[in-house]
Structure 1
Amino acid sequence: MTAPLSSSLPASLYRAEQVRAMDAHAITQLGLTGYELMQRAGGTALAALSRRWPSARTLSVVCGGGNNGGDGYVLARLARAKGMDVRVYPLVPVDRLRGDALRAYEDYRDAEGPVLDFVPADFEGAEVLADGLLGTGLDRPVEGLYAEVIKGINRFSGGVLALDIPSGLNADTGHPLGIAVNADITATFVALKQGLFTGGGPAHCGEIVFDDLGIPPAAQRLQTPSARLLPSWVKGLPRRARDAHKGHFGHVLVLGGDLGYGGAVRMAGEAAARVGAGLVSLATRPEHAALLSLHRPELMSHGVAQPNDDLPALMQRARVLALGPGLGRSPWGRAMFGAALASGLPLVADADALNLLAETPLKRDDWILTPHPGEAARLLQTDTAAVQKDRYAAVAELRRRYGGTVVLKGAGTLVLGHSGLPEVCTSGNPGMATGGMGDVLTGVIAGLLAQGLSQEVAAATGVRLHGAAGDAAAEEGGERGMLASDLMRHLRRLINL
């Protein structure tokens, strides 16, 4: 489940060390105590639990030895005071607890809360299970008993609440360190960690609930955000004048559609038109041109047999190129690619345009690159696993090598442009993991760019709009079986909100 973007979530994201610095500053400079913050965290977690599972009466809490475990003891005490039947399973002997975690345990014990001296293979005796095993400081693979307990948590059939972060998830990258808890809801504290929102973060976190625990904004302002969430809607297109005409809204030329792939240029072209481009032309194989015009007559489809001869006249009329949908890597596709680069026009590059770029790397400032992790791996001469292990590092390296604005697609799509601060999209859903979705996104971004949005704003707005259209399509008919073309009417509706 993708973590939804809530109006209660702030935009700024931080690395784990930055959040720890905020916490330390609040304690050493602002008069707050660590235990006071721990009690507030436990209260937030209980409120989240009660909202998500209002009828739950039984709770198991698994506690580690650090402050994350201390949060678990506080939650257990507060839940028991509310009348819930609570059991705590410590993975660290209580005589080894120190500091605020020890105090949290002692307060729970003094309230006569039961602490069991074993961890069961499963937790089926409870309706909700709270994960207080490992916090944000984890930087190595989970092994041994902790790994076995996380496996047990993931077998649990009831609700799972993670405290601050699902145990095993890297707070900076969103990459599971060997294994990570699959939570239904994550109550996170002080500031938002950037790893919760991309890579494996959305799948492991579930719904995200946030509380800054009352730490004054001054503590947060000492840290510069490492990333930010895309806003719930990105606005930039002005209201159209009553005397407007199609020439005011740009001309997109989509290049691609090798033999057998005519549908890719059709989807990209229609997407550009649906978000408001004034004119859209398709440059494709002659075998496709007439059929594409028949099925979507608003798209001006041109057969291109010899790219070097046929494209220059088409490009003279275009404002933006969308390069790559169904392009292929045949001599024809390579000639289309070379002609597009030689034109000097701003462009959005996807699919085989990116694979061809990986063969002959080039850096320029006037393009938007939209790789999925596999394409990103080829551009970076590495493998997909390395890209997914740290998507923030990957998007930064892509921009360093290739310039422009980079959109690294996937769960928690990242957008990085001239501002230097990655933006993370939380819209979209697994139903969008199907052929043609990237072609639609290419068209959406190109259509926005043609209407005059800046490069980075067009990319960010396009990503958010594309994800929102996918969510609307899923709400209408479900995720499974969604087609890329199902987004079209939602794109039109959403761009006009």
Structure 2
Amino acid sequence: MDFNLALKLYTSEQVRSGEVVAAQMAGVSMYSLMQRAGMAVYERFLHLYPRSRNVLVVCGKGNNGGDGYVFATLAKQAQLNVRVFQLGDPTSLKGDALRAFEDWQTVDGEISSWDDWHTALLEADVIIDAMLGAGLSGVVRHECRRFIDQINQIHCPVISIDIPSGLSADTGAVLGDAVKANHTVTFIGVKQGLCTGQARDYVGELHFSGLGVNVEFESIEEESALGLDEQVIKRLLPDRKATSHKGDNGKLLCVGGNQGLSGAIRLCASAAVRTGVGLIATITHPDSLLPLQVGVPEVMSQSITYEKLKATDNELVKRALWADVLVFGPGFGQDEWAHKAYQFLSQQHKPKVVDADGLNILAMLNHRNDVVVLRDELRVMTPHPGEAARLLNISTKEIEGDRYAAARQLHERYGGVIVLKGAGTLIYDGARMYVCLAGNPGMASGGMGDVLSGVIAALLAKRLPIAIAARLGVILHSHSADLNVQQNGEIGLTATDVIGTLRQAINSPDA
């Protein structure tokens, strides 16, 4: 799917109300839209599975089921073997869905008995999921969940119409149970829930059809979020002047690597090096100094003890004054050394990236009655769902239940730019929500967040505005991982591997 630099995303309510106005503007009836939707799915089916002869269509009671009937009618007219199953009584269908059902009957289409369901599942070449549409809000009912489970248990390709049944179109959360589709064909406007969180396990490959009214729709509805892929890299990444020297490309201070945690700050600093920052210094625990000096010789490394941290004039103070940007948290720990370093660094009026235990310390301070935690508009925070839950004092389940709301709540409480990591990472700067469309499951391994914090901090040091640095850093990080996976596969991908392909991601973003 060509996202054309930024994919506009919408809420289900925007699409529901906006498609009516858009159709009126285009002089198209709502039933014509339903016919176009069914045709779009049928054409995608022909492209994906041209040799399939046995098709199973499961229709719900709403317009999503009507789309399914349009598909079934087209498939039957093409002499395919089509089995249609209807949830509930077909005589309860209304409006355009009823009309689509009646058209199905005019081509001698029949509703299969549920007694034949298991046989039809085993014989199907492709399943068309037209059960539950984007309007679903509550938990999927038990009867429907049973059919969803059975569809998910067999090895048969599934095309979902508009959205996999059981998935929230607004949050991407699974509402009890959801169809795991191989492909999803969505219409009018791409629903924001299709691109983040649990949706990434259920949507499969996403396809879009504007049904001939998307131009009108976009003219009346402002997107709720923007989806970004690697195509934005060339747009956002600044050129390096031929006469530039290392001082022109920023000075970054990385602080972390407490006792026994040297790997995290090494990954962070290494990622910053590969992202092209001019000068990098690190401050770390004495036990982590040697691994850092050996592992990243391009970085100026110093250590500091807790006793020296208590002094008003120490190496950390000097390096913080020297640096343009600060990044702290990777391998930070939560002992006295970490708290003392955090206390100083968080008070600096400079762009900063806070990750890992830096966020956990912030969460602890936020929950103390004797500490006032202020918003910081110069700060990028990069929590995973567990860290976000601690920062908001709610459960991880609540974070994943509505990632968009969680990102907004984090910004409201802490300011700056929020990078809520996970499948479909969200970037929220207080004005606009962005969703990372790149990335892969291989990134679910230790150290990936340390690399991301180093990439974002390096871009900040190169004087990119904080909001641009955050979203460009997320895309670069994910695209680098995708490049490596294309060459070597998902299983076994490491944070070090991602650092290794950062240069390629930056210098050849279309590779």
| Deviation (angstroms), 1:415 | 0.2
Structure 2: distance between partners of 1:149 and 1:238: 51
Aligned length: 492
Contact persistence 2:5–2:232 (CA under 8 A): no
Structure 2: distance between partners of 1:348 and 1:192: 31
| Deviation (angstroms), 1:272 | 0.6
**Superposed counterparts of 1:361-380, under 5 Å:** 361=366, 362=373, 363-380=375-392
Partner of 1:349: 354
Q: Is residue 2:410 matched to residue 1:398? A: yes
Partner of 1:217: 215
SS at match of 2:477: helix
Partner of 2:478: 467
| Deviation (angstroms), 1:9 | 8.9
Contact persistence 1:86–1:114 (CA under 8 A): no
Partner of 2:370: none
Structure 1: distance between partners of 2:214 and 2:241: 45
| Deviation (angstroms), 1:317 | 1.4
SS at match of 1:280: strand
Partner of 2:282: 282
SS at match of 2:145: helix
Structure 1: distance between partners of 2:96 and 2:286: 72
Contact persistence 1:307–1:339 (CA under 8 A): no
| Deviation (angstroms), 1:449 | 0.6
Return the letter of the residue paired with 2:202: H
Return the letter of the residue paired with 2:226: R
| Deviation (angstroms), 1:237 | 3.2
SS at match of 1:329: coil
Specify whether residues 367 and 118 from structure 1 end up closer, same or farther in structure 2 by C-alpha distance, changes over 3 A only.
same
Return the letter of the residue paired with 2:422: G
Partner of 1:56: 52
Contact persistence 2:351–2:466 (CA under 8 A): no
Percent sequence identity over matched residues? 42
TM-score (norm 1): 0.96
Q: Which runs of 5+ in 2 are unaligned?
A: 367-372
Structure 1: distance between partners of 2:479 and 2:390: 28
Specify whether residues 8 and 242 from structure 1 end up closer, same or farther in structure 2 by C-alpha distance, changes over 3 A only.
closer
Q: Give the alignment partner of residue 401 of structure 2, picking from 381, 385, 389.
A: 389
Partner of 1:438: 449
After alignment, is 219-228 or 71-80 more displaced? 219-228
Structure 1: distance between partners of 2:6 and 2:317: 47
Contact persistence 2:56–2:84 (CA under 8 A): yes
| Deviation (angstroms), 1:243 | 1.8
Q: Is residue 2:78 matched to residue 1:82? A: yes
Partner of 2:197: 199
SS at match of 1:11: strand
Partner of 1:295: 295
| Deviation (angstroms), 1:252 | 1.1
Partner of 1:233: 232
| Deviation (angstroms), 1:29 | 4.8
Q: Is residue 2:335 matched to residue 1:337? A: no
1:459-493 superposed Cα distances (whole Å, 9 cap, x missing partner): 00000010001111111111111110001121111
Q: Is residue 2:459 matched to residue 1:457? A: no
Contact persistence 2:54–2:125 (CA under 8 A): yes
Structure 2: distance between partners of 1:288 and 1:412: 33
Structure 2: distance between partners of 1:244 and 1:50: 54
Structure 2: distance between partners of 1:488 and 1:83: 53
Structure 1: distance between partners of 2:485 and 2:114: 43
Partner of 1:15: 11
Structure 2: distance between partners of 1:84 and 1:301: 69
After alignment, is 83-92 or 163-172 more displaced? 83-92
SS at match of 1:213: coil
**Superposed counterparts of 1:124-273, under 5 Å:** 124-215=122-213, 217-231=215-229, 232-234=231-233, 235-273=235-273
| Deviation (angstroms), 1:117 | 2.4
Contact persistence 1:8–1:210 (CA under 8 A): no
Q: Is residue 2:20 matched to residue 1:24? A: yes
Return the letter of the residue paired with 2:232: W
SS at match of 1:138: coil
Structure 1: distance between partners of 2:35 and 2:500: 48
1:38-80 superposed Cα distances (whole Å, 9 cap, x missing partner): 1111111112122222321211000011100000011111122
SS at match of 2:155: coil
Structure 2: distance between partners of 1:311 and 1:63: 64
Contact persistence 2:6–2:228 (CA under 8 A): no
Contact persistence 1:9–1:210 (CA under 8 A): no
After alignment, is 396-405 or 467-476 more displaced? 467-476
Partner of 1:43: 39
Return the letter of the residue paired with 2:159: L
Return the letter of the residue paired with 2:463: G
1:384-417 superposed Cα distances (whole Å, 9 cap, x missing partner): 0000000000000000000000000001100001
Contact persistence 1:61–1:129 (CA under 8 A): yes
| Deviation (angstroms), 1:31 | 2.5
Return the letter of the residue paired with 1:46: Y
Contact persistence 2:197–2:424 (CA under 8 A): yes
| Deviation (angstroms), 1:121 | 4.2
| Deviation (angstroms), 1:126 | 0.4
SS at match of 2:114: coil
1:21-42 superposed Cα distances (whole Å, 9 cap, x missing partner): 1221134454211111111111
Structure 2: distance between partners of 1:12 and 1:293: 45
| Structure 1 vs Structure 2 CA RMSD | 1.5
Q: Is residue 2:323 matched to residue 1:318? A: yes
Return the letter of the residue paired with 2:316: L
Specify whether residues 290 and 29 from structure 1 end up closer, same or farther in structure 2 by C-alpha distance, changes over 3 A only.
closer
Contact persistence 2:266–2:295 (CA under 8 A): no
Structure 2: distance between partners of 1:256 and 1:121: 57
1:276-327 superposed Cα distances (whole Å, 9 cap, x missing partner): 1001111111122123112221111111113343311111211111110000
Structure 2: distance between partners of 1:316 and 1:94: 72
Structure 2: distance between partners of 1:76 and 1:172: 28
Return the letter of the residue paired with 2:212: G
